[in-house]
């Protein structure tokens, strides 16, 4: 069992830092390259949501909590931004509240597909919290930690 917490400002330049930090934290669990890539993508999606939707380009704090438990990585990514009015609609593939902005509406779908467990809790005016977990070892035998 291990834990880590990251807290950073909602600037897009922090996305690469956040996904790589979580990936580095997960390495002792010996994920495959593909599993690690799934985690990085899911983190990137969640953090992008905080920046683009939660704070809508303004500045605020994003918190990433990571916990390992056996072969499982648990993540909690939250903001204190504007929240989601209709979570059910936001979860629909291809739905985006920013239709004029070349947004794919695939963020939540990717998080749900790439991670083992996923849930989102949001309150308008308070913020949004995404919880995700991934169990490693179900897929390919190649291990990222031993790959280089």
Partner 1 sequence: MQMMGSRRGDNLYIFLSGELDEHTVADVRTRTDRLIDENAGLSRAVFNLAGLKFMDSTGIGFLIGRYKKLRKYGMAMFLEQPEPNADKILSLSGIYSLMPKI
User: Do 8 and 65 meet the contact criterion of CB atoms below 8 Å apart?
Assistant: no
To the nearest whole angstrom, how small is the minimum distance from the Cβ of residue 79 to partner 1?
14
Query: Which residue of 2, 5, 92, 113 would you call a contact of partner 1, by CB under 8 A?
Result: 113
Binding flag, residue 13, partner 1 (CB under 8 A): yes
Q: For the purposes of burial, counting CB atoms within 10 Å of the CB of 33, is it exposed (0-12), middle (13-18) or buried (19 or more)?
A: middle
Query: Which residue of 22, 26, 29, 52 would you call a contact of partner 1, by CB under 8 A?
Result: 52
Where do we find the tokens 């880590």? 4
| 137 three-state secondary structure | coil
Catalytic-residue membership of 67 = no
Residues 117-146 binding partner 1 (CB under 8 A) are none
Q: Pick the catalytic residue: 72, 103, 131, 143? A: 103
């Amino acid at each position: 069992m291990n834990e880590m917490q990251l807290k950073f400002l909602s600037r897009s330049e922090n996305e690469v830092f956040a996904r790589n930090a979580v990936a580095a934290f997960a390495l002792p669990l010996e994920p495959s390259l593909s599993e690690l890539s799934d985690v990085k993508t899911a983190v990137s999606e969640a953090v992008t949501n905080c920046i683009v939707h939660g704070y809508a380009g303004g500045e605020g704090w994003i918190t990433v909590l990571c916990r390992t438990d056996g072969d499982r990585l648990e993540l909690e990514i939250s903001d204190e931004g504007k929240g989601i009015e209709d979570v059910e609609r936001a979860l629909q593939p291809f739905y985006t509240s920013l239709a004029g902005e070349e947004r794919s509406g695939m963020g939540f779908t990717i998080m749900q597909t790439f991670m083992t467990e996923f849930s989102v809790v949001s309150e308008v005016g308070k913020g949004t919290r995404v919880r995700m977990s991934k169990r490693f070892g179900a897929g390919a035998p190649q291990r990222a930690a031993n790959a280089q």
